[in-house]
Structure 1
Amino acid sequence: MDIAPLRDAVSGSVLSAEDQGWDAARVSHAGLGRPDIIVRVGSVDDVSEAVRFTAAGRHEVVVRAGGHSAWCTLDNGVLIDLTALDTVEIVADPEGGALVRIGGGARWGDVARALAEHGLGISSGDTASVGVGGLTLGGGIGWMVRAWGLAADQLVGAQLVTAEGEVVEVTDASHPDLLWGLRGGGGNFGVVTRFDFRAHDLPGVVLAQLGVSGDARRILAALRDTLATAPRELTVTYMDVPAMDPSAPAGASIMAVWAGTDEAALRAAIAPLLALEGVVENDLGVREYPEILLDHPLPPPDQQMPGFIGGNTLVPSLDDDIIDSLVAFRESAPASVLFLRSLGGAFGDVPQEATPFPARNATWFAMAGAFDIPGLVDDAERARLAAEWEAIEARGAGVYGNFSTTTDPAFAHRMYSAESMAELAAIKAKWDPRNLFSRNHNVVPAV
């Protein structure tokens, strides 16, 4: 691959395996990737040049925004790294309030800190190091999902570089079909170099951290019943992790976040939980929103991610049978994790057809999986765990692509309804008929 013309055309840098800084440039949270080259763009024009170069050479293109990725590393092809496009600009919204224009390479922690200075917030994920781009294009479930909906629900515009290398401004007025696709349809239609969001007033949040012990089935049933009538300002998570997981203390815990600074309101909303035997209040108080976002640093370059047997599902009703199945899965595999997050509220207000994101009738997001560690898990155990998870997932109404552990192209058909997939395929045929942007949860262009 002759990259000299590309180096001459861009203001950023173009790296190959022979260049200094190569290893640092190809590391991600999944480990060391193995792209053919990396284009660290310095401008939107650089993105256009990189896309044209890739298309002309019929190379594969991989787009990296914040630096997270699928559970496995993304190898081969031209990696377009948007990290330098990380601006955060607040402007007046003609309809009142504030709009936030965020570069495609920005990360949520930086965005949250910039907005907090103005008493504003956007419904993002729960991790500071996650990129705005990947999270939003996949939908974006986070701490404000019940108060404000998905990150994608607040998206009102975007700047996108097409498969032809052209720069287009996308709004409901200019390209309503394309904006619909960007609200949860993944990176199938181009490289988004700027996201425009409608912001919300957020003077702070109230955070409660609860320790949990005893019968998980009883705790989860109480959590479900509490959230069924809770104000939409409240979002909660339940997490049970093994001692081997470095990202969180071992054991079960509940985190509750209130959108606003009314500590008494949060305490009243979770009173049924605090009254349970086995639930202990470890911390409760007002925080700035950026403070509650987790921060996972990049792993050592030589660290390999273990396999993961499981998945996620969007559950309309967290009934006792599903609770039993989820807890039984966790109990049967010591090296496994169970995670749930409450939905409903503003998430459910959005009509199903308004975005590609599935299962707007879901009231809970559930994820479970066992770490596939050599010597600990054999083929029979893998088959058992996979079968148990498939039975659980089948009871849900859809899956969330941002929490998937696969890059199998067929997975996209599990993410979207048949109607949404058909509409996404038609948009894909219009904007990327050659399927240049295929290294994602791929939507194949309609014929």
Structure 2
Amino acid sequence: MPDYGHPLVLGTFITPTALDPGRVVQLAELTEAVNLDIASFQDHPHRADFLDTYTLLTWVAAKTSRLRVSANVMNLPLRPPAMLARAAASLDVLSQGRFELGLGAGGFPKAVHAMGGAGHSPGQSVKALEEAISIIREVWDADEAGPLRFDGEHYSVPAMKRGPRPAHDINIWLGAYKPRMLRLTGRKADGWLSTLQYLKMPGMADAHKIIDDAALEEGRLPGEIRRLLNLLDVGFSTTGRGHLQGPPRQWVDELLPLVLEHGFSAFLIGRDDPYVIQTFGEEVGPALRAAVARERRSTGRKAAVRPNVTLNKRRTTIDFDVLPGELTSKVLRPGDRGYEDVRHSYSRAGAPALVIQCGNADDVVAAVTYARHQNVDISVRSGGHGISGRSTNDGGIVIDLSKMNSIRVLDANTGRIRIEPGARWGHVARALAPHGLAMSSGDYGDVGVGGLATTGGIGYLARKYGLTIDHITAAEIVVADGHKLRVDTTHHPSLFWALRGAGGNFGVVTAFELDAYPLQDVAQVTITVDATDTADVLTEWGRMVEEAPRDLSSFMSLLPRRRGAPVTARITLVYAGDDVEAAQAALMPFLEVGPVLQQEAQLAPYHAIVAPSDNRHVGQGLADSRSGMLEHMTREAAENIEVAIKSGDIMIMQFRSMGGAVHDVPRDRMAWAHRTQHFSVLAATAPTKVPRLDEHWGRLYPLLNGMYLSFETGTDPARLLDAFPEPVLTRLRRLKAEWDPHEVFNQNFNIPPTP
């Protein structure tokens, strides 16, 4: 049989005797001390002289810090699968991912029956074990909606709440010898756990073949099943001649063929002898690992392992067989541990068939080259909020850049910085602060660099310093044909022009260079006012913002009546500088915008007001939103907004100030052409209220001029002209035909190429 390529796992198989429990725990602690990987214990509940295995596993996990623990193997008939799953997940969470589930159909049937366990024939035991595996994995799938219901021949679960979710993908290793159990191992398990001395009928090679054939019939690769071997009655001596009885070098020579020729990758020694455990860990283990590594390097053998839980959730839309080798360790599919953390954006839920987590620009090249031939949606995610919903999808591929997150100050004197797209703006602000530098981004530290820096960047410093994209001096990008380019005003200048405002349509940016500017402390004031007279508050705020010095930028969040409270406006004001008197003069007039309910003021480092919180991305944000821009906050616009916010159909409306430095940039310098508007407008609501949102938006729409792509969840192609007014759109369509004629990047409010 072949070497299946799994990393070696070496450990112990310890007798859980109750006669000397301290020694049992000491042997487990020694297992960790000599750098072995796992301690396992028999599970024979009928033995009055044995400790309860689950209690022992918990105690050992608490007494160690790195060691994995497992039963060898758990007696299923005495441990109902739903509770076994919950106990296993709990121990895995408490031990931070150090539990594995060795599981058996249940030996010693008379003893089991004497303790009240179910009496099963051999055939019934295998069927019961198969049902139990299904229940256990369903319990662990805590992200699945709805209760777990199962109605089998041997086990029934009427309506169980799932969870807890384990800390890692717990492996299910089956103790199996007979053909029916071996076939179940191939179909459902993550590993086969056997004992060398018991491998008689079928023999080793025959057992492997039964497992492999069953795996292939199930659509699995045989390499997905790890092969583990207990080694009993072993010892070390300088004169011994028996199998695994001689010196450590002999052990290596005898174990190596079991790895390379028979596919075993885990060895657990069953000898409660500290000298044997220490010698196995300190002498045999390192030599065996080195020998296996040498052989695998010479043959180019690599593991192609995927947890069994993945199988039932894979999409058929993706050809996984042609995935480039350099990406195999960087992909997550439905069912993989970690998939739930990358399938969504912060704001929008998704169910992609494949997420590719790129670590560098070469990974992006490989990902784009692979993805463009799959005929599915391709979304690019930098790792931020994803309000528009375009950074995830259903059934397609997500190219995830969150691991590409380096931040470098190239020249502190000139402010030149280099940022990768997976960084978040709060981390950028924190990295720039020691150099006395800053870069306006948004209003929240968890916003991702890539999405914002290809779209706009209306931040707390916009009126003083302009948009984020106004400071981009160069970028590195992977275009649709897989080439890496550096673009700036002299290298591919037209593509550089398009990137600043419509970059998501032209490729995957792998790095940005920007000119940051000197800034340390800012004055921030947050005022909550009673906005019952909504139109009055809006028009007064808008007038004050336009008349304020450009050092001051302001955001307003308008919230509807809730639980008897009035309509409220939460106004954030940021003065870019630490001149306290000038800041007070600019900020104090805003206390007259409306009846003040609450106010806060602080002088703080800029990075402190956009600090990252590293929120989990579980798709829990705003459901649908509309975006637009206003030249001025007119009375007519304010009255339409008042009707909308008081209708109860809108969850939130937000207004961001522009003007000032934003207006200093010529409108033809980049694809962002909105250089006369003073305010960006966002309205959001729940999916069930989208029709009414559109009704209110329809009344406001004739008064708007422009759109901010990152805040718009609608996909009406007619709105492209809002984002890219002519002649910008015509130029972008020509560039799309040049750089992405087949519309590989069509998920970021697609710009159709000129025919």
Relative to the length of structure 1, the TM-score reads 0.90
Does residue 511 of structure 2 align to residue 189 of structure 1? Answer: no
SS state at 1:427 partner: helix
Does residue 706 of structure 2 align to residue 391 of structure 1? Answer: no
Query: Structure 2: which 5+ residue stretches go unaligned?
Result: 1-317
1:228 matched residue in structure 2: 546
2:535 matched residue in structure 1: 217
Taking the TM superposition and a 5 Å limit, the aligned residue runs for 1:6-405 are: 6-10=323-327, 13-72=330-389, 74-92=393-411, 97-214=414-531, 215-242=533-560, 251-275=568-592, 278-279=595-596, 282-293=599-610, 298=615, 301=618, 307-308=623-624, 311-333=626-648, 335-373=650-688, 377=689, 383-405=691-713
Tell me by how many angstroms 1:203 deviates.
1.1
Question: Residues 407-445 of structure 1: CA distance to partner in whole angstroms, max 9, x if unpaired?
Answer: 445543331112111111111111111111111111111
Contact kept in structure 2, 1:108 and 1:129, CA below 8 Å: yes
Question: Residues 390-415 of structure 1: CA distance to partner in whole angstroms, max 9, x if unpaired?
Answer: 22122111111111122445543331
1:414 matched residue in structure 2: 722
CA distance in 2 between counterparts of 1:35 and 1:410 reads 27
Counterpart amino acid of residue 443 in structure 2: D
Q: CA RMSD in A?
A: 2.5
SS state at 2:722 partner: helix
Aligned residue pairs, count: 433
Contact kept in structure 1, 2:473 and 2:514, CA below 8 Å: yes
Tell me by how many angstroms 1:369 deviates.
3.7
Does residue 729 of structure 2 align to residue 443 of structure 1? Answer: no
Tell me by how many angstroms 1:387 deviates.
2.7
CA distance in 2 between counterparts of 1:239 and 1:142 reads 14
CA distance in 1 between counterparts of 2:481 and 2:407 reads 27
CA distance in 2 between counterparts of 1:175 and 1:148 reads 26
Tell me by how many angstroms 1:244 deviates.
7.1
Which moves more between the two structures, 58-67 or 353-362?
58-67
CA 1:300–1:130: 2 relative to 1, 3 Å: closer
Normalized per residue, the structure richer in strand is: 1
Counterpart amino acid of residue 403 in structure 2: A
CA 1:304–1:223: 2 relative to 1, 3 Å: closer
Contact kept in structure 2, 1:99 and 1:198, CA below 8 Å: yes
Query: Structure 1: which 5+ residue stretches go unaligned?
Result: none
Q: Which structure's CA Rg is the greater one?
A: 2
Normalized per residue, the structure richer in helix is: 2
Contact kept in structure 1, 2:561 and 2:646, CA below 8 Å: no
Tell me by how many angstroms 1:146 deviates.
0.6
Tell me by how many angstroms 1:76 deviates.
2.5
Counterpart amino acid of residue 279 in structure 1: V
Tell me by how many angstroms 1:351 deviates.
1.3
Contact kept in structure 2, 1:126 and 1:294, CA below 8 Å: no
Counterpart amino acid of residue 230 in structure 1: A
SS state at 1:270 partner: helix
Tell me by how many angstroms 1:328 deviates.
1.9
Question: Residues 282-334 of structure 1: CA distance to partner in whole angstroms, max 9, x if unpaired?
Answer: 21121111222275764684x666643x6222111211111111122111226
CA 1:102–1:306: 2 relative to 1, 3 Å: closer
SS state at 1:10 partner: helix
SS state at 1:33 partner: coil
Question: Residues 145-170 of structure 1: CA distance to partner in whole angstroms, max 9, x if unpaired?
Answer: 11111111111100001111111111
The alignment-based identity, stated in percent, is 33
CA distance in 1 between counterparts of 2:643 and 2:320 reads 53
CA distance in 1 between counterparts of 2:687 and 2:653 reads 15
CA distance in 2 between counterparts of 1:243 and 1:294 reads 29
Tell me by how many angstroms 1:86 deviates.
0.4
CA 1:47–1:384: 2 relative to 1, 3 Å: closer
Tell me by how many angstroms 1:108 deviates.
0.7
CA distance in 2 between counterparts of 1:250 and 1:320 reads 18
CA 1:363–1:421: 2 relative to 1, 3 Å: same
Question: Residues 343-362 of structure 1: CA distance to partner in whole angstroms, max 9, x if unpaired?
Answer: 10001111111122243110
Moved over 6 A (4+): none
Question: Residues 332-383 of structure 1: CA distance to partner in whole angstroms, max 9, x if unpaired?
Answer: 226532221211000111111112224311011222344344xxx5xxxx65
SS state at 1:164 partner: coil
SS state at 2:713 partner: coil
CA 1:161–1:273: 2 relative to 1, 3 Å: same
Question: Residues 159-186 of structure 1: CA distance to partner in whole angstroms, max 9, x if unpaired?
Answer: 0011111111111111110111011013
SS state at 2:417 partner: strand
